[in-house]
Amino acid sequence: MEKNAPNIIELQNISRVFDDNGYVAVQDFNLTIGRGEFVTFLGPSGCGKTTTLRMIAGFDLPTSGQILLNGEDITRLAPNKRPINTVFQRYALFPHMNIFDNIAFGLKLKKISREEIIRKVKRVLDLVDLEGFEDRSVATLSGGQQQRIAIARALVNEPQILLLDEPLGALDLKMRKEMQLELKAMHERLGITFIYVTHDQEEALTMSDKIVVMSNGKIQQIGAPEDIYNEPINAFVADFIGESNIFKGIMTGEKKVRFCGGEFLCMDDVPEGTLVDVVVRPEDVILTGAEEGTISGKVTDVIFKGIHYEITVESGKYEMVIQSTKTPKVGDTVGMDLEPDGIHIMIAEDHITRFEAAVTGDYQLDYNGRIIHCDLTTVIPGARRQGEVLVDGSGQVIDPSRLRVHVSIEPGDIQMSDDVEAGLTRGHIINLIYKGDHYCYVVRTEHGHDLIVDDEYLWNMGDMVGLILPQEKMTFSLKK
Ligand code: ADP
Ligand code: MG
């Protein structure tokens, strides 16, 4: 085998479609992993992490694409022929065997002398900090110790690559934190390649050299933890990594962006009129006096988090989560500001205006007292109608007062009218941008929400207009 290839593993255009249901679990996955790297696959449950790992291990075959190991095609090579071992979330130790036999199990199948096996088992027990545990029974070990034995059992084969599929998922938080640091130290001592799977962003940020963020079987972003955290490539990554506030916004000038009811200077030079997603990290929001900020709002929640407070501020229709060492009180009015480098601009993938609606007792949407008709059984997974009420998959009545629904509509589907009572809501034009064949307006509604509206006619700044939002053009999703 060519041990000098610069990359140990290359996944080229890997896809996996399950025959039985046609489900595309992994789609056009391209990744190179350097020798000795600690790479983490990070994404929500069901995004294809385990499927990808199983293909690397050889337990599953890709529908298309190639897997190279040290430059050689191993796509169809049997698992036991690959210098790769896997640690699973469930330790899968043999309960009736002692620790020595558990670890030596794989070696006994190979033709290795007794002395050599004893030496190898001792070595890996030292590695996982359980020296002298050979004769102990599995039942006497804690969850963390059992998982270390499972790691020792994988390491005893001296793999070039260790695959770890949510290995700490079954441990309690304190043990998990400890094991994260131990695994990281182990990786440095061993110098082999680790491919780690988790849905826990904090774990991924702590441990990895490189993170592969996945969603729906596709790679969203590959990068070092700092890059992924500071420069998320889209709203999914921003939302998934770390806490963030995400707003729909619009570029209103050179390095100027309007969102969350205010206009801010930013670093990104995106053309005027571009609809954008804006990410603001809670630690980047500066609390000011009520009158001094670019925007202001009312404190609705303050939680002590150890080193800082997590403060929720309601500003018109928007909500901003802030981390600060200042301690305003619930009900206080505060000002908020942002430095240009605290604003992350991403070009919006969908040109959509979005707002939130409450749900009435008879399961209709309520937007500031106006009713929007919507079939909630198509919005809430598993919900169905039972007489007057909606029930969930397990037959429980769904409480409408606890539901919030996001309503989305394209800016071009909203009509503006002289008749301020004509539509769902009304507001003042606070911004207008000419976009070649139409104008793009920002209309601040009487309830303090900025809606983006495309219209071919020229209106004036400050005009009060009625906004007609046709129900058949709306799409609905449940607020999580
Ligand atoms: P993750 O590990 O990220 O939680 P998986 O790789 O286990 O996700 O699964 C990805 C998707 O593929 C899931 O929606 C899952 O239901 C589906 N899936 C996994 N294995 C099979 C299978 N053998 N047949 C059909 N669908 C599968
Ligand atoms: Mg999984």
Atom of ligand 1 at shortest range from CA of 214: 3
Answer yes or no: is pLDDT of 8 > 60: yes
Closest CA to 241 of 217, 207, 276, 205: 205
What pLDDT, on the 0 to 100 scale, is given for residue 350? 65
Q: Where are the domains of the chain?
A: 7-230, 235-347, 353-478
44 lines ligand 1 (CB under 6 A): no
Atom of ligand 1 at shortest range from CA of 43: 3
Write down the CATH number for the domain with range 7-230: 3.40.50.300
Atom of ligand 1 at shortest range from CA of 52: 6
Atom of ligand 1 at shortest range from CA of 197: 2
What pLDDT, on the 0 to 100 scale, is given for residue 3? 55
The answer to whether 235-347 and 353-478 have equal CATH topology is: yes
Answer yes or no: is pLDDT of 480 > 90: no
Q: Which of 136-143's residues contact partners 24+ apart within 8 Å by CB, and which partners?
A: 136/98, 136/99, 137/98, 137/99, 138/93, 138/94, 138/95, 138/97, 138/98, 138/99, 138/102, 139/95, 141/99, 142/175, 143/170, 143/171, 143/172, 143/175
What pLDDT, on the 0 to 100 scale, is given for residue 277? 86
CA of 308 to the centre of ligand 1 (A): 39
Lowest mean pLDDT among 193-197, 236-240, 322-326: 236-240
AA identity, residue 147:
Q
Provide, rounded to the nearest whole percent, the portion of the chain with pLDDT above 70: 98
394 lines ligand 1 (CB under 6 A): no
Write down the CATH number for the domain with range 235-347: 2.40.50.140
**E runs forming strands in 260-339:** 262-265, 275-280, 286-288, 295-304, 309-315, 318-324, 333-337
Answer yes or no: is pLDDT of 2 > 70: no
Q: Grade residue 349 by pLDDT with cuts at 50, 70 and 90.
A: low
CA of 23 to the centre of ligand 1 (A): 8
161-184 confidence digits (pLDDT tens) = 999 999 998 888 888 888 899 999
What pLDDT, on the 0 to 100 scale, is given for residue 393? 84
**Ligand of minimum distance to the alpha carbon of 90:** 2
Q: Grade residue 4 by pLDDT with cuts at 50, 70 and 90.
A: low
145 lines ligand 1 (CB under 6 A): no
49 lines ligand 1 (CB under 6 A): yes
CA of 197 to the centre of ligand 1 (A): 14
Q: Grade residue 213 by pLDDT with cuts at 50, 70 and 90.
A: very high
Answer yes or no: is pLDDT of 309 > 80: yes
48 lines ligand 1 (CB under 6 A): yes
Q: Grade residue 1 by pLDDT with cuts at 50, 70 and 90.
A: very low
Distance CA 270, CA 51 (A): 38
241-269 confidence digits (pLDDT tens) = 878 888 888 999 999 999 999 999 999 99
Task: Report whether 206 contacts 180 (CB < 8 A).
Answer: yes
Lowest mean pLDDT among 319-328, 392-401, 433-442: 433-442
Answer yes or no: is pLDDT of 117 > 50: yes
Asked if CATH classification 2.40.50.140 holds for the domain at 353-478, the reply, yes or no, is: yes
86-99 confidence digits (pLDDT tens) = 998 776 788 889 99
Answer yes or no: is pLDDT of 327 > 60: yes
50 lines ligand 1 (CB under 6 A): yes
Mean pLDDT of 437-443: 86
**Ligand of minimum distance to the alpha carbon of 51:** 1
Nearest alpha carbon, ligand 1 atom 27: 18
Answer yes or no: is pLDDT of 210 > 80: yes
41 lines ligand 1 (CB under 6 A): no
Which of 40, 47, 214, 216 for mutating ligand 1's site (highest number of atoms within 8 Å of CB)? 47
Angle between helices 99-109 and 114-127 (to 10 degrees): 130
Answer yes or no: is pLDDT of 82 > 50: yes
What pLDDT, on the 0 to 100 scale, is given for residue 90? 74
pTM score of the predicted model? 0.73
Distance CA 350, CA 347 (A): 9
The mean predicted confidence, pLDDT, of the chain is 91
Atom of ligand 1 at shortest range from CA of 45: 4
CA of 49 to the centre of ligand 2 (A): 6
